[in-house]
Each structure stands twice: as C-alpha cells, then as structure tokens.
Structure 1
Amino acid sequence: MNKVLVKSIAKQLLSYIPYQYVNVGKEFYTWLDRFQQMRTMTNEQLKDLQLKAFQEKVAFVYMHTPFYQKLYQEHGFHPEKFKDWTDVSRIPVINKNMVREAGVSILPRPFPMNNLIVGATSGTTGTSLTLYTNRKVLQREWAATCFLWSEVGYQPGDGRVEFRGLFTEDRAYQLDRYHRILRINVAKLTVDNIDKIFEVIQKTGYKFFHGYPSALSLVARLIQERKLEFRYQPGAILLASETLHAYQEAVIRNVFPQTKIHVHYGQSEKVIMAGRVEDAPYRFIPLYGYAECNSNTHALIGTSFINDVMPLIRYEIADTVTDFSESPDAGESYLFPSAANIDGRVSEIMYKPNGDMVSSALMAITVRGLNSVTACKFIQRQYDEIEVFLESSLPQHTVMKEMEGLSRNLQMIFTESMKLTFSIVDHIPRTASGKLKFIEVLIGKERNPT
C-alpha cells in the first residue's frame, strides 16, 4: 500500500485519540510547565534564571560552534567575562547577513546535519535565510505559543480555524482533524462563499480563529457585506506574526465586538516571543529568550534560549518598537520587557524622489487611524511615484475623503515632488500563504539617472 495513503489513514484514526497522547511530546509539556511556573516567581527570580540561561548559551556556542568561537576571539570576548547583566554589551551583535555568510559554521557540532529540519525565513526583507531546527525546538516553540494563548482561553488541543498557510490544492478549505485545524484558503474567500465557509466552521465546533491580520480583516469585511456579524462569534481571535495596522484591528473589532484579540509576535528564527491582549502592550516571555532594544534605531535584538540547534546570540531582528520598557507590568510581572507597538522591519524600505530611504515602520504609522479600508498596499515603481491600493466596500467618496489626510502625511514624508495615485479595489491579492505584502518596491536600490 502507498506510504502516503497509510500515513493519511493513520492520522485519521489518531485524530480520535486525546490530543496530548499523539500530537505533542514530553518536550512540549516540560517547557509548558516551565513557562507556567513563571507565574509563581518574583521578577528577581526570573532575572536570575534568565541570566543563567544566557550565560549557559554563550558558553555552549563558544565551545561548539566555529562561527561564535571566531567572532568572540576577534572581539576579545570570552564567556568567562560574562559575569552579570552589565557584561551583555561586551558580546558582539550579529545580523542576518552575518548568519547567512556563516552557513553551517553557526550550527553546534552535537547536532548532526542529517537529523535537522531545514527551513527558511519568508524573504520579506529581500533575501531569505536558511534555518535549521528539530522536533524538540518546534515543541518548545509550540509550548510558548500555547502559554501566551492561554491568556484568552486557548488550551492545547482546542480546535482552530486557520486563515493562513500555503494551499497546494485548488480548494476553499481543508479539515485536518489530526491537528484540530480547519484551514481556510484565503485566496479563495469571496462574498459569494463566505456563508458556506461559516457553515463548515460551525459544524466543526472550533472556537478559535487564527490567522494573519490582513486575512482576518478581509474575513471581517466579507462578513459585514453578508450581514453575518451576529451569526457567529469566535472564542478568541489569535492574530499571527504580521504587522497589525490600526485600521485592520478596527475592522476586526467592529465585526467581533465580544471576542478577545490576542496579537502574537515571533520570528521564523525563534529568537524571542511576545504577545498582547486587547489594548495592553506586547509582553515578552523571559525564559524563551532575552529581548533588547537598540537605542539608536529602536530595532529589537534577541537571544534565543529555546533554539540550541541554530543558536542566535544578540541577533538584530530589525523589527522596530516604540515605548520599550524593561520594567515588568504590575499585573503580569512574569512577562517582560514590554513594548507599546512593534511596527515592522527597518530593512523594508521605500525611497524619496531624491533617493533617501523611508522605513516601513514609518509607513505603518501613516496608516494608523484609517477606518474606511480593510487593507492597504504601497507599490513604488519609480523614485517619484507611489501607487496606493485601498481595499474597501464603502462608497468612493467616503474612502477618498479619508485619503486626504493620508495624502498629506505621505507628502510630508516624501515631499511634494512625490506623485501619489490612489486606487480603490474590492480585493488586494495576498501571497499563497495568505499574507498581505504591505510594501512592494519594484525599483533598484540605486537612483535612476534623470
């Protein structure tokens, strides 16, 4: 019998067995328990554990990876010099280009290549990065995610309706009972089939919506158009790692007013993880990794404690933050540091007519407060031209009235020499996995001669 068919049948049978016995292993529960115990600890105890984990990670990579051994020797650093928190600045910061150039020399010797899972970053910053992991690291990451989601009632094994991920088949949805997930093909969502999709959702009994902000805001708009707002309210909305714009959040909250929203922050590199519920700030998990903020660029720097397969120490993530605070919140002192907003990547840039660069973090600020659109995309084909695509079902005059303010903000940033064109569309295409590419620059990095 075909191996693929056998595996499929086995998963169907296993889907009827309680989740904890087949879907997750010992590593998952070990780390979930570790994260849950943080709730009983003082800030001082957590800082001590964090420092110990940091020191052990630095000593481990120095002993087992050629990349870090060479890097630290070049900078005159040795793990023995890492005595307390004041010594963190002695450790050199690394970035994506350095990791890419290092190749497999960044991988610790105790992990044979043939036992690793190979992946890659999404490549939204221009070039993807090859990543390595294993089942244990994936279990730790899932434990951290479940720990954060527990703040809105999610428990391991609860069913999720997932508005994200890549579909290889031409279908509107796919039910995966083994993982307790109903996957919706965002690219196939329309006002004509949203009723049918919600019938399928109701039949599963799954209570949690999980997906990219751009996908969930599209779902919310389609629900509004079909007047389905009061037909179904999920237990919670779990927003995945993608910049959440205020206009998207407003649309989602308008359609699901009784539903709590959890906003997740993480990276493919598995360096640091944070989450926020409703209007609270983002709070990081201190035993998942150590989060810092570059005081000059406001970019995040992280050190992973869960990823020993591809260890990243003081890795510049390049996502920018505002109001970064190392002090724990009085209500949840076990989660720290915190940040009011995580706006986007420093390296996703647009250009002014004179060639000066504008970061996506600044672009994200310009669209805050928009109420008439469910998605927005900027395309730059020339240094002096930007096309703005607006996804909306509202009357044109309503949308364009609000765009007057956006136009003023953009010209303040790009100068009045920038030509702006606005187009209202029913739907802005997402990527195959359901993501919205907020900025697309189709010109070279050097200014064209005039």
Structure 2
Amino acid sequence: MLDKIYDCSPHFIQNLFVSGYNILAYKKRYGGKYKAFRDLYKLNRSLSREDLLRSQKSRYKNFIEQAIANSEFYRKLYSDIENPQDLDNIQRLPIIDKELFRTNINDITIKSRKKLVSSKTGGTTGKSLEVHYKEVNLQERFALLDDFRSRFGYKLGKKTAWFSGKKILTIKDVNEKKFWKYDYFNKTKYYSTFHLKNNFLQYYVENLIKFKPKYLVGFPSTIAEIARYGLDNNYLFPDNTVKAVFPTAENLTKQMRELIEKFFHTAVYNQYASSEGAPFIFECKNGNLHLELQSGVFEVLDECNNPSTTGRLVVTSFTTEGTPLIRYDIGDSITLKNQNLICSCGNNNPIVKSINGRVADYVYSPENGKINIVNIANAIKDVKGIISYQIIQNEINCLNFNIIIDKSIYNNEEEKLFKKNWRDRVGDNMEFNINYVNSINVESSGKHRVVLNNIKDLIEKTV
C-alpha cells in the first residue's frame, strides 16, 4: 500500500517518505549503545598491537561461548572440540562455506527473547541470505563505520551524495530526468544506481555539481562511471568541495580510484566488510588498509588451509551474535603486508597490501546502462525458493537466466517478482530467457560466477 502511495506522490512528498524512513531506521542504528561504542573506538584508536591482540582474544572467547550457548548449529558442531573458545585453537574449528551457512541458517541463528533485526544480503554468488543482528551489534557496526569516516571529517547531517541499490525512482522521475531523492533532515541525496547510461549521466553530473556534496558514499563502480562521463565531456567539478569518497559493497579497482579522485578532486578511502556482517578493514590517511582486530578475526589461508600472506579470507565476526559468523569463508582473497610493520598514522592494526576480491561484474541494458553486481545481487533478495542462479549476456538486448529452484517454495508469484525486480533494473525492452536447471557450471577455481557477460567489448563501443 505504501509503495503505491509513494509511486503516485509528487517528488517532494517522496522525499518526505525517504526522510521519514531514515528517521525510523536511524533510531535502531544510532540508539542504545551507539554513542558508547563511538566513545570507545575513539578512545581505542591508538591502542598498541599487544593491547589490540589482547582485546581480540578476550572478545573471541566471549563470542564463541555465546554462540555455543545460543546457537544449536555451533553447539553440535563444537561438541567434540576441546577449548573451542581459545583463540589459539581456532584452526581446530571447521571452516564454514557459504553453501553450508545458507542451508543451516535457521540452526545457526540464535534463539532469542529479544527481537532480532533482519538483514537480507544480496546474491553476489547467485544466492541470497537473510541474517539477523542483535540491535547492539548493529549499533556497534555503525559506530565502527562512523568512527572510520569521522577521521576524514564526516558525520551524519553533512551534505552527502549516496549511491546504493535501493529502488527509489518512478517512471515519472525517469521521464523528468530526476535520478535522485533527498533526505531533508540529514542533507543526504540518494542517487539511483539503476540508470547509468550515457544520455542519463549528464543529469547525474550536473545535479552533483549543483548539489556540491561534502562526501560521496556508495558503489564505486557507479561513482566511477559518473566520473568517467564527467571527464570525457569536459565537466569541471568545483575544487575543494568533496572532502572524501567512501566506497561500499564492491571491490575498488585502481582504475575506479583514479577516475573518482581525478574528477572529484579528492581522496578515496576504502573499507571492506560484507552484508553477512564480516569484520572490517579500513583505509587510513596514509593509504594503508588495516585489519580492525577489535571487530573480529581474519585468517588468510592457502589451498591447504594453512596460514599464508596471500590467500582466501576466512573471518570470525564479533558483531554477528544473532547469526554468528565463525571461520566463515567469505569468497574473497587478500594479501597481507609484513605483519611486523606499524603504520605512522597511529593505527596499530595489521596492514593489508591489497584486497583481491571479485572485481564487480555487470550486465548492460540499452535502456538503463550498466547494472553492477550489487544491484544484480539485490534482485533476488525478496524472492523465495531460488537456490542459485546465473545471468548470461550474449546479446545487447537479451539476458539468459539459469535458475535452480526449490519446487516446494518457488511458484508463479515468485517468478513474477523475480521478473519485476529485473525489469526495475534493466527496463521493459530487454528479452528474458529463463531456464530452470538442475545444476550450474562453476569456474575452474570451483567458484560460481553469477554473471557471465560475453559482450563487454561490444558494450564498451556502445557506451
């Protein structure tokens, strides 16, 4: 009902909807212990490496003990392991991959009298999950993020341009070339990330120049695409306007960083986490990425599950008490620097040389332009019964979907919702070929790719 009212309302009323939604959401995020966490992390910024490791070991012990006490899955899994709560014994614990996590999600999620906060992850590997947070964990995660961003002057209420995967536009907005909504109370303008094609990008660039945000937050592929258009078409973004850019949700490439920094005349400060609740990696003023040991445990493992300087990332996150992540294989890889190095920025957490996670892939819509991996992943958030899926683009006007379904859940209504979600992203003119299959081929590495775009060369010529 609210969706219909929103769609029929004039632009300024829709902005009020956005503003009101944020007021309700921010009560959960910034209430409770949020301020106490902010004070704590501000105080802890200069902790020594020894103190950070001591804090990590203590939090790990408490986290594992709570998981065993409250999660049926972990209680059974660790029943025969001696001292699982001792960080020195972490390699005795089984590694949990995404498929095992997904299929056991109900038993992993704790039984709690207090209502948990639901969070749906996107399907970057072709599968969506619904995890649950304690409100206090949500508040700590936002305190960590805001502490990181505050080091570069950011705080809620400063003029910010935000680029995320929320569907905020109506057909009328697109016809009127208005690709944004505004939160009046927090001075945040939300730009659609579903309409990135050349004859629309002009309006993004011109509105950003007019808006003059102090900060940009969101998908780096979207921000880079806007920057590329601005540079190619000789737009001049005002100097000394944007103080910092904070990418989210995608792997930041060197090319993205260069485009963004060149056009917006500012620095990009990267961060890494995940929708499931992975611990954080933050970039400092010196351009070094730091593991945030107070948020969890990071293991970098080779193919034989032995510690390595370069390898796949397995995480244990202290801020996931509702749906605990313990030795969770997140599907990305990183490279560590010499762990004896201490950065001169004052942050004594270990330094990451590079995040080698998947580079954002995309499909292309002639109507709406490039659709990035996070928007693709979010297309199945609310669709029930999809076990796994893959999109293959061999033609400019056609998408092929291979979908594995749970026949006891998936039905015509779920198929309609799946199609609607994709129409929201690519428009009404693309052809869909939906194939229901029993299996989907994986890469030689064993990883499942949700997007196979076989016409990138043709797309680059088109755009």
Match of 1:236 in 2: 244
Match of 1:117 in 2: 117
Match of 2:329 in 1: 316
Match of 1:405 in 2: none
Is 1:271 the equivalent of 2:278? yes
Q: Return the alpha-carbon distance in structure 2 between the equivalents of residues 270 and 328 of structure 1.
A: 27
- CA shift for structure 1 position 117: 3.0
CA RMSD of aligned residues (A): 3.7
Is 1:246 the equivalent of 2:246? no
Q: Label 1:333 to 1:289 Cα distance change in 2 as closer, same or farther (>3 A).
A: farther
Out of 65, 71, 88, the position equivalent to 1:86 is: 88
Q: Return the alpha-carbon distance in structure 2 between the equivalents of residues 147 and 254 of structure 1.
A: 26
Please list every run of 5 or more consecutive structure 1 residues that lacks an aligned counterpart in the other structure.
Answer: 349-359, 361-377, 382-418, 429-450
Residue correspondences, number: 352
The two structures have a TM-score, normalised by structure 2, of 0.66
**Which range moved further: 54-63 or 280-289?**
280-289
Q: Label 1:255 to 1:101 Cα distance change in 2 as closer, same or farther (>3 A).
A: same
Match of 2:460 in 1: 425
Out of 41, 59, 83, the position equivalent to 1:53 is: 59
SS of corresponding position for 1:316:
strand
Match of 1:187 in 2: 194
Matched-pair contact (CA < 8 Å) for 2:297–2:317: yes
SS of corresponding position for 1:321:
strand
SS of corresponding position for 2:68:
helix
Match of 2:420 in 1: none
Q: Return the alpha-carbon distance in structure 2 between the equivalents of residues 22 and 105 of structure 1.
A: 25
Deviations 1:254-299 (A, max 9, x none): 223x301111211011121112257733212111111111133711
Match of 2:109 in 1: 107
Q: Label 1:421 to 1:224 Cα distance change in 2 as closer, same or farther (>3 A).
A: closer
Matched-pair contact (CA < 8 Å) for 1:140–1:306: yes
Match of 2:424 in 1: none
SS of corresponding position for 2:326:
coil
SS of corresponding position for 2:104:
helix
Q: Return the alpha-carbon distance in structure 2 between the equivalents of residues 253 and 202 of structure 1.
A: 15
Q: Return the alpha-carbon distance in structure 1 between the equivalents of residues 98 and 333 of structure 2.
A: 15
Q: Label 1:259 to 1:10 Cα distance change in 2 as closer, same or farther (>3 A).
A: closer
Match of 2:154 in 1: 154
**Which range moved further: 115-124 or 286-295?**
115-124
The two structures have a TM-score, normalised by structure 1, of 0.68
Out of 59, 77, 84, the position equivalent to 2:81 is: 77
Amino acid at match of 1:240: T
Q: Label 1:230 to 1:178 Cα distance change in 2 as closer, same or farther (>3 A).
A: closer
Amino acid at match of 2:184: R
- CA shift for structure 1 position 334: 3.8
Matched-pair contact (CA < 8 Å) for 2:72–2:107: yes
Deviations 1:174-211 (A, max 9, x none): 00123432011133345555565455445655310112
Match of 2:38 in 1: 32
Matched-pair contact (CA < 8 Å) for 1:261–1:277: no
Q: Label 1:197 to 1:116 Cα distance change in 2 as closer, same or farther (>3 A).
A: same
- CA shift for structure 1 position 306: 1.5
Q: Return the alpha-carbon distance in structure 1 between the equivalents of residues 337 and 110 of structure 2.
A: 32
Amino acid at match of 1:313: I
Match of 2:223 in 1: 216
Matched-pair contact (CA < 8 Å) for 2:62–2:85: no
Match of 2:443 in 1: none
Match of 2:296 in 1: 289
Alignment of 1:8-47 (within 5 A): 24-47=30-53
Q: Label 1:10 to 1:221 Cα distance change in 2 as closer, same or farther (>3 A).
A: closer
